[in-house]
Amino acid sequence: MTDTKTADQAAATEPATEEAESSAEPAGKAEPAGKAEPAEKAEPAAESPAEPAEEAEPAEVSREAAPEARRLTRDPLVRVALAVAVAAAVVAAWFGWSYYAASGDDSIAYASERDRVLAAADQAIVNLNTLDHRNVAGGLKVWQDSATAQLYDSIVQGRAQLEKDVAKAKTTSSAKILESGLTELDTRAGKAAVAAAIRVTVTGPDGKPAARTSRLLGQLTKTPTGWKLSALGLAPTGTSGS
């Protein structure tokens, strides 16, 4: 009897065990529901946007610096220092420009004076080589007005003889500057030197002109009435015109 019950009990127990095991298996197959790992991978996305927010500090610094800058500009000492700096820059720029302008003005003034001296020299040379026998007195007056110092004295001293010679020869002379240039110019001392090439045409009683070309060297002196020739003569052979 005992064996039979035991066998029956075992037989009755086995289905229950199998049923329990079979009923427990579905619970073990719940693993797919536990695959929630992809949700954990979203953490980098949540952390990365937060980093740029920390870089907003410069804005706070600038906001803090703005009141400080306003405070400095309201400070009388700072305002005075800024005004002095600006004034110094303006003065420096003005003096720099003034120096440049003055330097340019000096160069322009010198060039203008040089042109005036050369023009006076050219005219004086032409005057001293022009004479008409029909108006010798008037011609010699022009000679004297174009000369000064020793040259003036020479014209005055030789005037009487020159009048006789021109009246007797009945000649007329005219001159033309071919080229000329100042070889020296001292505006402070009022001295200058000129070299010129001229063509002098002399017409005799027969009306036939004869031209000759010569090179002259002259000295000029500034007088109360302008620049005038103080010396004039033929240039040595081989001397250039300028």
Q: At 10, phi and psi to the nearest 5?
A: -65, -40
pTM here is 0.58
Please say if the pLDDT value at position 160 is more than 60. yes
> Does 151 reside within a domain?
yes
Q: What is the largest CA-CA distance in the chain?
A: 197
> Does 239 reside within a domain?
no
Please say if the pLDDT value at position 66 is more than 60. no
CB 179 within 8 A of CB 197: yes
Q: At 209, phi and psi to the nearest 5?
A: -80, 145
Between residues 109 and 10, which one has the greater pLDDT?
109
> Does 77 reside within a domain?
no
Q: Quickly state the pLDDT bin for 237 (edges 50, 70, 90).
A: confident
Which residues are CB-contacts of 214 (< 8 A; sequence separation ≥ 6)? 197, 198, 200, 234, 235
The count of domains in the chain is: 1
Task: Point out the least confidently predicted range of 61-70, 136-145, 163-172.
Answer: 61-70
Q: Quickly state the pLDDT bin for 137 (edges 50, 70, 90).
A: very high
> Does 47 reside within a domain?
no
- What are the pLDDT digits (tens) for 199-219? 999 999 999 999 999 999 999
CATH number of the structural domain spanning residue 209 = 3.10.450.230
Which residue range forms the structural domain that includes residue 196? 122-234
Which residues are CB-contacts of 139 (< 8 A; sequence separation ≥ 6)? 130, 131, 132
> Does 42 reside within a domain?
no
What integer pLDDT is reported at residue 18 of this predicted model? 44
Joined together, the tokens standing for residue 190 give 């009022």
CB 241 within 8 A of CB 195: yes
Joined together, the tokens standing for residue 236 give 């040595």
Between residues 187 and 70, which one has the greater pLDDT?
187
Q: Which helix (DSSP H) or strand (DSSP E) does residue 194 occupy?
A: strand 191-203
For the chain, percent of residues with pLDDT exceeding 70: 55
Joined together, the tokens standing for residue 127 give 């005057």
> Does 184 reside within a domain?
yes
> Does 186 reside within a domain?
yes
Between residues 100 and 147, which one has the greater pLDDT?
147
C-alpha distances out from residue 98 to 86, 94, 113, Å: 18, 6, 22
Within a 10 A sphere around the Cβ of 158, how many other Cβ atoms? 12
Between residues 114 and 84, which one has the greater pLDDT?
114
What integer pLDDT is reported at residue 207 of this predicted model? 93
CA proximity to 220, closest of 170, 148, 158, 156: 148
Between residues 18 and 152, which one has the greater pLDDT?
152
> Does 30 reside within a domain?
no
